[in-house]
A and B are shown apart, each in its own frame.
Chain A
């Protein structure tokens, strides 16, 4: 009820209001390709976002290859320090570990691929 009264009070316009409305009144602006230009910019941004993740992954991978290779070689050089009994125990307890790791990586790649296709 109160809001209705407020709305009614708003609609009661004095001469100044009507004059101001007539001064502010303008004819509609024709679209003239404006909406097409906006949609084109939106689509371009969508494509850029879709490309951003794979491109970033490629660049990141490229940058990370060399230090990663160094890290792997360091780890490999440290492997003789690990007691053989420990490795045997670990492989006997989790025999499918390499398969699990590989499966996890494939799953992650699939999820990222599906996500980017959805986008």
Chain B
């Protein structure tokens, strides 16, 4: 898969709303987007729903892709925004539920995996906040450069680096990460 092929497909989508070309883009990048959101949300089915929403937003905003950075970086930016929007919505929903006197279900409760399915990666990600988690996943799981992460999160490269450093420090102080199960 090459960047120029992605650019050609994007051009077809923008110029003639070619759903076949868009389908090819989805096929190429669905794995990385779903992996990113699964790790970020901690819930497989919710993450897959978010991934679908992410690609629908990508379809709507395709004309805004300038072609400067990598397409996957641009997609992950949309995925991250989609995740944050859904997180805000679910928080607001929980607040409304609480206001009307029902038992509040927090995000962490809905995202919890059964104890036997919790991997070291899940434990490791649990010590990080949303922002740190997203950036660490982009860096270590998706292989994005610091600049690409900066573009995706609208942060300066220096801030990205310091967040990665802080994330590593947190992990180092919380875990002995020598023996692990793969996440």
Task: Name A's B-contacting residues (CB within 8 A).
Answer: 6-7, 10, 16-17, 19-26, 28-31, 34-39, 41-43, 45-46, 119
Interfacial chain A residues near B141, Cβ < 8 Å: 24-26
By the criterion CB–CB under 8 Å, are A21 and B34 in contact? Answer: no
Q: Could you tell me the dominant secondary structure of chain A's interface residues?
A: helix
Q: Could you tell me the dominant secondary structure of chain B's interface residues?
A: helix
Residue B81 at the chain A interface, CB threshold 8 Å:
no
By the criterion CB–CB under 8 Å, are A38 and B23 in contact? Answer: yes
Q: How far is the CA of A30 from the CA of B147 in the complex (A)?
A: 29
- Among B23, B120, B136: residue with most chain A CB under 10 A: B23
Closest to B24 in A: A35
Residue B59 at the chain A interface, CB threshold 8 Å:
yes
- Take A24-B137, A36-B23 as given contacts and tell me if A29 and B182 are in contact as well, using a CB distance cutoff of 8 Å: no
By the criterion CB–CB under 8 Å, are A35 and B27 in contact? Answer: yes
Q: How far is the CA of A107 from the CA of B68 in the complex (A)?
A: 41
Minimal beta-carbon separation of A51 from chain B (angstroms): 16
Interfacial chain B residues near A119, Cβ < 8 Å: 17
Interfacial chain B residues near A30, Cβ < 8 Å: 31
